[in-house]
Structure 1
């Protein structure tokens, strides 16, 4: 135990000694730079550049000697100040402890040339290059300073760098007076911009949409998008003006990622809201079509577009906001996607099955379909499965891959719905009465508004063991099962009325014992009038029913 404590104490003492040695070395380097200019290594050149541009030690003339101005026009002192402003505006933190102190340093990633890059991603054109025995900012880098400065401070914001410092350089809370005043002005501009934009949207856009008759769309769809756009414009305003404040790089290095993350995040939210507008437009188009499958497709399109927006937005947030390289992520995602695809073959099959359903449209929501064990009314079609309501009022969830491969009998696409039955008449019904009864049935079908008039089958069809059968087959021109049942009800009520009017009796399975009748007693058999009476009764029935039909039409 004592031995371990001794070793630990030894390593701590060695670490403190090395740290103090590095601090002493850096202080000596600063003293050497303060006396002159040291360009012997990337480390000393960087130290010379930043040290001579500090607020308490501002010697731009010395710092300008770090520039290689061969072939480049312009004031060296102005260029060196602009270069420092570029570093601060880009939020690049330069740690001298990470800069090589080797006079013969070689960049292995750039053809083994004697160059040193500060940040290849943010400042790919700014690098130190060794010429002779000195390291300086290359002439190419110096030639890029003016363009990079305008890019860092666009729309004339670079002029504020010369105006704001004139307010005062007194320090409060670690910041100069002009920086504190600039922060206050920036906060005020932010609130004013948000207030102005909100006022224009609420009073201008909504008023205009109401005048055009689209007030609901403006309030429920465009107004949320406009508010997010106002936040996005505020973030853009902040990103432009906050660079002018020349905040300490350590602070600004934290602000830049936040602002760069907010930009793609807010754009993602804007497009996420726009999807609702697009979905509402598609829903309006779908409502004009007869197919109910289009109405079911709209929510699926909305969910798919929103998922796509979230995925793309996340990639941009990772790339622009968090400064991550998404290429390896996409590569890994493609490889992982292949593995997932192999493991989820059934899910992919069901997905493409749903696509085929929406393309071919073998049925739509509300149709009655049968296919093997599937029997019921379609209630919903999803990306993976469809929901079918069975006659037992239970719900079947059927994979779309199975539906796409199956033979489907779609009763909902029928133009006509057939109804067939046998009207059984007692054996004592005279032939003449049967003739008049059949004529009456045909007239009932011709008069009903929801029956097919050009094709039906009503004939005296069979002699069964206990009845004389009339085949009654008709077709209804109705869209749904409830409409069909209502039409059946109306037809059968008319059939019963016709039978009562003519005196027709319906047979049912019975056994009849016939006894010989005596002269003084009447038999049990039904007696019927002459055939002329049957025809008169039929004409009277049809006249009464037709009169009712005409009265209903007039009402």
Structure 2
């Protein structure tokens, strides 16, 4: 609701007042039939005597004062106290229905241990009640002692003075309104308009300007400005609640206005906190973007949804309690019983919910990690309240309930600091021991020269004699974060190994069967002839390392 619509609503509401006032006066025609004598024989007669003698066309406050038990307040003016008490009834919007007031001289309140008292409205005026004093029913001494306090609470911040000032403007009636009511209404509209303009200027021109100067203009326009505008409406409602009682509107219509105002207060506060959740979520989102973990990026939307749901639930309860004066205790009791039934029927859902909480607390993985668990093998894409979404290497999507994920054994490959590469290099049996030794030395130099291998832990050894080959164990670690970089490093190392083997004339073995035949004089044998001098192999290894280091430097 924008400000123009809000003013239109107030204007239409006030146009409906004359009809309601005429209806209320028609319902009180029976008051004029009451005898001029003060009758305090029952709660019914005392109530008629009090309100009838304070009407505009039958204003006798001295008679209304006789309904007050002035014991203990003899030093105060009973006429003024009776007028103030009627103003409290009107300001609180308490509707007096004479048909509901008991007309029994010996009436007893069954809710108050059978005492001879009568409450008008225990919720809005719990301290105002009639009690039987001798043979007469009067406003209790306790109630009379509370009149000044209740009057200040109903008309705070000095607005009670307007009750005396505004009627002096004039009592002429126009369209069912007194002149002073019309003037007061125009003043109220002016104050509402002025306060809205002032608040808008402070927020739009002041706060937003400062935020733009400090580099937070986007936050101001998208998050703080909506909160400020709703807050502006809340202040307008407070202003209306403060000054509307001064206009002394008819009780019938004022009771509905009070309900609307009391409902708008918690409703607007709920909307304000609902908007503040977006501000909090934006802050946490910015904090999450600064961390390396991607799991907190998924946590922020869940926190935002949870906080908004919490605000809506609490706000609804306050609207029911404060705005509609409903007793929410039975509702909460029924909700707790229903919650037990729902919990029993939705055990799996609740288990998955707490499973998601454990995932966010323990952080066994984060978005983007490669995880395996039983048949589960893939990359985490999203962690929700109920399930975790995993993209498999077949490009399909798996949804796993968080309850099962929390109970399962998860192998998180994404948290590896080092990625192991283990293979067995097989060379032919006819390779001389000296060449094997030099080949192993060359392999170790390849590991040490590579920029992304772990230098403190690796194992390269001549490790076995198999049926068709000499086996060299090649066990190293790559310090890379992703699988793609791991594959790239493997490619680079394997290429270096092949070049080293080619440089040293080392042949890789594969499963073969050799048939030995007699060597003919004019033919060379298939078995290679190795250089018996180890120095030559050392020189070849030096040439290889020197050439590879030059490539690395270039």
Provide the TM-score with structure 2 as the length reference: 0.88
Matched residue count? 528
Equivalence for 2:5: none
Larger RCO (CA within 8 A; separation ≥ 6): 2
Please state if 1:361 is matched with 2:363. Answer: yes
Alpha-carbon distance between aligned partners in 2 of 1:57 and 1:123, rounded to the nearest angstrom: 25
2:551 to 545, 548, 552: 548
Please state if 1:161 is matched with 2:163. Answer: yes
Please state if 1:234 is matched with 2:209. Answer: no
Could you report, residue by residue, the CA deviation over 1:221-254 in whole angstroms, capped at 9, with x for unpaired residues?
2222222211111111111011111111111111
Alpha-carbon distance between aligned partners in 1 of 2:414 and 2:465, rounded to the nearest angstrom: 36
Task: Give the 3 Å change call, closer, same or farther, for CA 455–26 of structure 1 in structure 2.
Answer: closer
Equivalence for 1:374: 376
Q: CA deviation at 1:511?
A: 5.2
Q: Secondary structure at the match of 2:34?
A: helix
Alpha-carbon distance between aligned partners in 1 of 2:386 and 2:28, rounded to the nearest angstrom: 66
Q: Would the aligned equivalents of 1:29 and 1:44 in 2 still touch at CA under 8 Å?
A: no
1:216 to 210, 215, 218: 218
Q: CA deviation at 1:196?
A: 0.9
Q: Would the aligned equivalents of 2:31 and 2:52 in 1 still touch at CA under 8 Å?
A: no
Q: CA deviation at 1:417?
A: 1.4
Q: Secondary structure at the match of 1:460?
A: strand
Task: Give the 3 Å change call, closer, same or farther, for CA 407–28 of structure 1 in structure 2.
Answer: closer
Q: Would the aligned equivalents of 1:30 and 1:47 in 2 still touch at CA under 8 Å?
A: no
Equivalence for 1:299: 301
2:480 to 478, 481, 499: 478
Could you report, residue by residue, the CA deviation over 1:131-163 in whole angstroms, capped at 9, with x for unpaired residues?
222222112111111100100010011111111
Q: CA deviation at 1:315?
A: 0.9
Cα RMSD after superposing both structures: 2.5
Q: Secondary structure at the match of 1:469?
A: strand
Task: Give the 3 Å change call, closer, same or farther, for CA 475–79 of structure 1 in structure 2.
Answer: same
Q: Would the aligned equivalents of 1:232 and 1:263 in 2 still touch at CA under 8 Å?
A: yes
Q: CA deviation at 1:343?
A: 2.1
Alpha-carbon distance between aligned partners in 2 of 1:319 and 1:216, rounded to the nearest angstrom: 37
Equivalence for 1:38: 39
Q: Secondary structure at the match of 1:518?
A: coil
2:406 to 404, 407, 422: 404
Is there any run of 5+ residues in structure 2 with no aligned partner, and where?
Answer: 1-24
The aligned runs of 1:113-128 (5 Å cut-off) are 113-128=115-130
Q: CA deviation at 1:529?
A: 5.4
Alpha-carbon distance between aligned partners in 2 of 1:30 and 1:328, rounded to the nearest angstrom: 43
Task: Give the 3 Å change call, closer, same or farther, for CA 54–513 of structure 1 in structure 2.
Answer: farther
Q: Would the aligned equivalents of 2:43 and 2:102 in 1 still touch at CA under 8 Å?
A: yes
Alpha-carbon distance between aligned partners in 1 of 2:265 and 2:88, rounded to the nearest angstrom: 21
Could you report, residue by residue, the CA deviation over 1:50-82 in whole angstroms, capped at 9, with x for unpaired residues?
222222322222222222212213222211111
Is there any run of 5+ residues in structure 1 with no aligned partner, and where?
Answer: 1-22
Equivalence for 1:137: 139
Equivalence for 2:227: 225
Alpha-carbon distance between aligned partners in 2 of 1:192 and 1:159, rounded to the nearest angstrom: 22
Q: CA deviation at 1:513?
A: 5.5
Alpha-carbon distance between aligned partners in 2 of 1:279 and 1:193, rounded to the nearest angstrom: 30
